[in-house]
Amino acid sequence: MLTRTLGTQGLTVSALGLGCMGMSDFYGHRDDAESTATILHAVDQGITFFDTADVYGPHTNEALVGKALAPVREKVILATKFGIVRDPANPAARGVCGRPDYVRSSCDASLKRLGVATIDLYYQHRQDPEVPVEDTVGAMAELVKAGKVRFLGLSEVSPATLRRAHAVHPISAVQSEYSLWTRDPEAGLLQACRELGVGFVPYSPLGRGFLTGQIKRFEDFEPDDYRRNSPRFQGGNFQENLELVARLQDMAAARGCAPSQLALAWVLGQGGDIVPIPGTKRRDRLDENLGALEQVLCPGELVELSGLFPPGAAAGPRYPESMMRLVNR
């Protein structure tokens, strides 16, 4: 397995990570046995970078990931996040919190659920507009001093927020959605990361599964699948985006690989400081994703793919309006 370095503080991970969110939430039925087998299979294949968050489940995903990785804890890098708050009485509702006391209590709760003494990479999931990022990152820095956290990260922040945070304590990684059909980070965030020496971790590098070419009809989503409420998967947007994916499928067929592998190869080809974390809860999909590491694209192919999916090409915003207000803050 190839490795890549996130930031300048010594965080080295496998070139491809595993996003574990869908194992417990958002994408239909869960199968803890298959999810656990997928996590262990990932370790066997050389993946060392695993991503979860307290909001996934909520809470149940951290417990699942922690239990699965317990036998191999010293071999892996475990990342989790805090900052998005869900109301148990209304699971669809979302809030954010970045208060220092909340940072400390969230970390302690995550440590307990994960069953570990230290979190390798701890992200603020969303920036709290009511709390200066300096206060939140200051509390996160205290966790590093206490030995509860090794490296710090942010998710879905603006370049300005990243610079303010990095001035308080070195940020090792920024996580944001990035793929052929979500190229928002190219409008300043990637540049800021590179100026500061911060690694970049794209989540949903397969467009929430859409870039695999396997999604054909909106009606095939399970009733509790998050994508039923995502603008890009609704109505005319769904049909327009299917046409985009058809271009990717044609190019992948000509190359003799899966569309997912081509899409991931494009993300990997955007720089050695980028570590995508495609999510899956099945071993066969994991193996398909790993095949992307064998699809090394030449500069001309990268340009061609970029031209097929220019910024803004995807129809519809990537989140409902309420959630879009929480990104790029």
Catalytic residue ranges: 56
Phi and psi (nearest 5°) for 187? Answer: -90, 40
**21 within 8 A of 12, measured Cβ to Cβ:** no
Angle, helices 235-255 vs 299-308, to 10°: value is 160
**33 within 8 A of 283, measured Cβ to Cβ:** no
Instruction: Please state the three-class secondary structure of 88-107 as a single string.
Output: CCEEEEEEECCCHHHHHHHH
Phi and psi (nearest 5°) for 122? Answer: -115, 120
Residues 6+ apart with CB under 8 A from 301: none
Q: SS3 for 24?
A: coil
Task: Please calculate the CA angle 114-120-121 and round it to the nearest 5 degrees.
Answer: 100
**232 within 8 A of 316, measured Cβ to Cβ:** yes
Phi and psi (nearest 5°) for 258? Answer: -80, 150
Q: What is the rounded CA–CA span in Å between residue 264 and residue 288?
A: 10
